[in-house]
Structure 1
Amino acid sequence: MNKNQNYNSETEFFKNYDPSKFYRPSTSVDTVIFTVFDLALQVLLVKRGEYPFKNQWTLVGGFIDLENDQTLEDTAKRKLEEKTGVKTPYLEQCFTIGNKIRDPRGWSVTTVYFALLPSENIQLKTNSDDITSSSVSAVKWSPIKNNKIKESLAFDHNYILEKAIERLRNKVLYTSLPAYLMPEKFTLRDLQTVYEIILDRTLESKSFRRRIERANILEPTGETRQDVKRPAQLYRLKENIDTYFFLRNIEGAT
């Protein structure tokens, strides 16, 4: 049928519509999955089991499942659960990048998310029997130091990681995001330590505690834990609490 054909209805138009007439770049989602342990901010990496870049490390990602993924967030959550077996308490879309050179297979577009996971109870699928996808041969956490990791990542994933770290650190300056990285029970000193690890600098303790208390995002568990000098109150994140935005950046972090 002529492409300039006039149609009498939407139904008639779609009956004759041929999507193959238009070029379609490869479309994927890449998720930068952060956690904190061993006094370091860590990112989850996967080793590719197929070409291109076979046996090289990348961020967690994959192509959109057109049959089952209803949204980009569905893709991000699905790939995260495949690699960690858990659901993230926090997932945020960062940016989209697309060009002709980022993937040697051709024009590609990826939407980048970052996810935050508490390190407790994460069971990575660390051997071939556990990994369901032939495109992945191994998974691991890699510590971030000076905004970098020791691995050279495939595709443009080093750039993606750099931008995601920048986004996370900027938001931590004025939000309660690190609370999503905490175990079920924690002290205010524990929470401050996680802030300091992410920001890579020391915070003023009294100011930090006042700010967290005023945010009203935590509740006491009624339990204590012996600290260096005295018992410390244990807290947990309140249920159904959204990210808190402070009016100013946290003192001592600039």
Structure 2
Amino acid sequence: MVDTALFTIRDERLSLILTRRKDPPFEGLLALPGGFVHAQEDADAEAAVRRVIRGKIGFDAPYLEQLYTFSGAARDPRGWSVSVVYYALVPWPLLEKNTSVELCPADELPALPFDHHQIVAKAVERLRGKATYSSLPAFLLPGEFTMNDLHRIYQQTIGARLDKASFRHKILEQDIIEEIPSRFRTGAHRPAQLYRLSSKTLTAFERKI
């Protein structure tokens, strides 16, 4: 089977997208989205988890990465099991109108079934570690964003404050974003330039952010 830790940022907090189990064991509990591999339909584990994600939230996650394989006799009361686990990032604006999922802050989770707490701990560790040296947090943003948006999303993902001037310098140095010509966000203050990612694939930095 496959499971996935689906992350988003809501109310400036790193959060997980959970679904309520409809069948035993643990019927009624919130859990990580997951499902069985369909041998006749899924080419591999990634195809299976993409199908599961589409079924839960209605679209493909902008970023998906294999995390780890969890296995053993104690993880499922029905007996020995193995799960290929992925983690994925989804911008909150794409989820706002989805009423079939529930969100919980990653550091305030309810009781979860199986070994899902262990999965979450490993996924958060991977996400926060990788966020310090790559473009990973940017996949939590919609297609257009300001430099302030990017700065906030990095802080919220990493869980630490980042000097704004230093952050801007390092991001521009890495060349992972590009200005969108003639696109600005207007408001009470000076119009803010809008940016987009230069690449749809993950970019690793030469040094930490």
Aligned with 1:59 (options 23, 26, 32): 32
Bigger Cα Rg: 1
TM-score, structure 1 normalization: 0.78
Matches within 5 A, 1:79-118: 79-118=52-91
Q: Report the secondary structure of 1:235's partner residue.
A: strand
- Is structure 2 residue 22 aligned with structure 1 residue 49? yes
Aligned residues of 1:45 and 1:58 also touching (Cα < 8 A)? yes
Q: Report the secondary structure of 2:93's partner residue.
A: coil
C-alpha RMSD of the superposition: 1.4
1:228 Cα offset (Å): 6.3
1:135-184 CA-to-partner distances (Å, cap 9, x unmatched) read xxxx311122xxx2231100010110111001000000100101111112
Indicate the residue corresponding to 1:142 in structure 2.
104
Matches within 5 A, 1:112-191: 112-122=85-95, 123-124=97-98, 126=100, 139-144=101-106, 148-191=107-150
Aligned residues of 1:98 and 1:109 also touching (Cα < 8 A)? yes
For structure 1, the 5+ residue unaligned runs are: 1-27, 127-138
Indicate the residue corresponding to 2:167 in structure 1.
208
Aligned with 1:230 (options 179, 186, 190): 190
Aligned residues of 1:83 and 1:124 also touching (Cα < 8 A)? no
Aligned residues of 1:84 and 1:125 also touching (Cα < 8 A)? no
For structure 2, the 5+ residue unaligned runs are: none
Distance 1:100 1:124 in 2: 35
Q: How many residues align?
A: 207
Distance 2:37 2:18 in 1: 19
Q: State the percentage of identical aligned residues.
A: 41
Distance 2:99 2:38 in 1: 21
Distance 2:188 2:138 in 1: 22
- Greater displacement, 217-226 / 201-210: 217-226
Q: Report the secondary structure of 1:120's partner residue.
A: helix
- List structure 1 segments (4+ residues) > 3 angstroms apart after TM superposition: 226-229
Q: Report the secondary structure of 1:190's partner residue.
A: helix
TM-score, structure 2 normalization: 0.94
Aligned residues of 2:15 and 2:103 also touching (Cα < 8 A)? yes
